[in-house]
């Protein structure tokens, strides 16, 4: 299948449409080959999920890659049902062996079989809290019985910290330790939460994995990637203008992809900054209603803080008197309260250059409205 627009803004479509990440991919494959687990940390939209799929596409043939995104799970029961239904069948090449494995291993919660149009049926587990732990253990027993090499990537892993009840981390860690030949990738975007989980001595996953922090793709390698498509199509491509796209969005993958997707869509190549302005404008306009609603739902203090951070771009010292006053707060304590509130809801976060509005397009909108 030939894709029309080479700049994807979701999903993975093979290495032709995937830029660089060579050393990160090697690190992942090397870890899998040597039975190590990986913690993959990067802010949102840097390309964690894409990297997992890219590494999976290069797995040696004896490995099976299993991917699950636990963002929508809210309890151990949700997790168990997603985990069990993701692993079961993945390591069976025949329907009858999958069905018989289900019969042998899954006693706590009997799954229902959902036939698929082609190939393996899916197994759906309706796990309730009282059999969640048993179902997890059974899923691990099943994995162990297969004695095959696999990689299980659990995306949005920080979500498990939100589950009610204690002991989820310890339960998982305990099971993982007993499973040779299967490597895990724990990917997440909450740096603080992920680091707490994997580098605090009092947590079950303490020092149990190799930490891989994903940074932005280098600008020159991104430019070379983009240029290839324009050259092939006989369209102009000015590297300096690409650098402007990259600079405006700090090289964060999704924004670069989104802007380039629009520029490609316009069909005139990339030769001047006005094209970049137009692309950003159309992206922001598409979100404008959402941003209006978002602002309306904020408290007065949070609105002030959002505007002040957006105006500044990045704020190193949000408690400094000058910033607090310029943001329109009378007291540093109310500024601190607003910042904490915004951070708790992922509207702002702290980068190496200071506090920024998480969604960069929202930042652009705030500066203009």
Ligand X SMILES: Nc1ncnc2c1ncn2[C@@H]1O[C@H](COP(=O)(O)OP(=O)(O)OP(=O)(O)O)[C@@H](O)[C@H]1O
Judged by the rule CB under 6 A, the positions of this chain that interact with ligand X are 8-11, 18-21, 42, 44-50, 189, 217, 253-254, 257
> Which CB atom, from 143 or from 259, has the smaller least distance to ligand X?
259
- Residue 107 contact among ligand X, Mg ion, none, beta carbon within 5 to 8 Å by kind: none
| 354 phi/psi in degrees, rounded to 5 | 125, -170
Contact 298, 306 (CB under 8 A): yes
Smallest distance from ligand X to CB 89, Å: 25
- How many Cβ atoms from other residues are within 10 Å of residue 24's Cβ? 21
- How many Cβ atoms from other residues are within 10 Å of residue 123's Cβ? 22
- Part of the chain binding Mg ion (CB under 5 A), chosen from 42-50, 77-85, 88-96, 254-262: 42-50
- Give the H or E element holding residue 257: helix 253-266
Contact 353, 314 (CB under 8 A): yes
C-alpha–C-alpha distance, residues 132 and 121, integer Å: 22
> Which CB atom, from 143 or from 260, has the smaller least distance to ligand X?
260
- Residue 189 contact among ligand X, Mg ion, none, beta carbon within 5 to 8 Å by kind: ligand X
Contact 65, 150 (CB under 8 A): yes
Contacts of 14 (CB under 8 A, 6+ apart): 57
- Residue 9 contact among Mg ion, ligand X, none, beta carbon within 5 to 8 Å by kind: ligand X
> Which CB atom, from 45 or from 262, has the smaller least distance to ligand X?
45
- Residue 131 contact among ligand X, Mg ion, none, beta carbon within 5 to 8 Å by kind: none
Smallest distance from Mg ion to CB 155, Å: 6
> Which CB atom, from 141 or from 196, has the smaller least distance to ligand X?
196
Please report whether residue 253 would count as binding Mg ion according to CB under 5 A.
no
- Part of the chain binding Mg ion (CB under 5 A), chosen from 22-30, 44-52, 280-288, 309-317: 44-52
- Picking from 298, 305, 263, the residue whose alpha carbon sits closest to that of residue 281 is 263
Smallest distance from ligand X to CB 310, Å: 20
Q: Which residue is nearest to Mg ion (CB)?
A: 49
- Residue 257 contact among Mg ion, ligand X, none, beta carbon within 5 to 8 Å by kind: ligand X
Contact 184, 151 (CB under 8 A): yes
- Part of the chain binding Mg ion (CB under 5 A), chosen from 29-37, 43-51, 176-184, 322-330: 43-51
Distances (CA, A) of 330 to 302, 321, 322, 335, 336: 14, 10, 11, 8, 12
- Pairing outcome for strands 112-114 and 122-124: antiparallel
> Which CB atom, from 4 or from 296, has the smaller least distance to ligand X?
4
> Which CB atom, from 21 or from 262, has the smaller least distance to ligand X?
21
| 346 phi/psi in degrees, rounded to 5 | 60, 25
> Which CB atom, from 163 or from 225, has the smaller least distance to ligand X?
225
> Which CB atom, from 49 or from 209, has the smaller least distance to Mg ion?
49
What Rg value do the Cα atoms of the chain yield, rounded?
23
Smallest distance from Mg ion to CB 49, Å: 3
Residues 113, 118, 119, CA angle at the centre, nearest 5°? 65
Which of 21, 24, 38, 49 contacts Mg ion by CB under 5 A? 49
C-alpha–C-alpha distance, residues 6 and 11, integer Å: 12
Smallest distance from Mg ion to CB 249, Å: 17
Contact 63, 150 (CB under 8 A): yes
> Which CB atom, from 159 or from 189, has the smaller least distance to ligand X?
189
Smallest distance from Mg ion to CB 336, Å: 30
Structure-token pair, residue 335: 């500024």
Smallest distance from ligand X to CB 216, Å: 10
Give contact residues for Mg ion (rule: CB under 5 A): 48-49
């Amino acid at each position: 299948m030939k894709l029309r627009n080479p700049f994807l803004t979701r999903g993975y479509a093979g290495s032709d449409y995937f830029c660089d990440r060579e050393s990160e991919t090697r690190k992942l494959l090397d870890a899998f080959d040597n039975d190590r687990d990986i913690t993959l940390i990067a802010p949102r939209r840097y390309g964690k999920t894409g990297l997992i799929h890219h590494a999976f596409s290069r797995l040696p043939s004896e490995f099976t890659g299993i991917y699950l995104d636990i963002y929508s799970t809210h309890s151990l029961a949700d997790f168990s049902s997603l985990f069990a239904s993701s692993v079961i069948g993945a390591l069976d090449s025949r329907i009858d062996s999958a069905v018989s494995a289900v019969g042998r291993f899954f006693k706590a919660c009997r799954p229902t079989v959902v036939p698929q149009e082609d190939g393996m049926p899916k197994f759906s587990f309706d796990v309730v809290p009282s059999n969640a732990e048993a179902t997890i253990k059974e899923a691990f027993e099943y994995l162990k019985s297969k004695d095959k090499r696999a990689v299980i990537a659990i995306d949005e892993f920080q979500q498990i910290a939100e589950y009610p009840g204690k002991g989820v981390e310890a339960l998982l860690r305990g099971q993982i330790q007993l499973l040779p030949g299967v490597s895990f990738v724990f990917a997440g975007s909450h740096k603080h939460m992920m680091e707490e989980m994997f580098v605090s001595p009092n947590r079950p996953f303490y020092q149990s994995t190799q930490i891989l922090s994903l940074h932005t793709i280098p600008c020159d390698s991104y430019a070379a990637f983009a240029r290839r498509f324009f050259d092939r199509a006989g369209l102009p491509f000015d590297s300096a203008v690409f650098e402007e796209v990259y600079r405006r969005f700090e090289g964060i993958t999704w924004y670069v992809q989104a802007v380039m997707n629009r520029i490609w869509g316009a069909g005139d190549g990339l030769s001047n900054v006005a094209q970049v302005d137009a692309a950003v404008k159309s992206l922001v306009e598409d979100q404008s209603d959402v941003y209006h609603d978002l602002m309306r739902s904020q408290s007065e203090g949070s609105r002030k803080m959002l505007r002040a951070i957006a105006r500044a771009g990045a704020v190193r010292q949000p408690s400094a008197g000058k910033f607090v006053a310029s943001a329109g707060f009378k007291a540093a304590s109310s500024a601190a309260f607003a910042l904490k509130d915004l951070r708790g809801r992922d509207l702002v976060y702290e980068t190496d250059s200071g506090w920024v509005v998480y969604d960069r397009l929202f930042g652009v909108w705030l500066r203009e409205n």
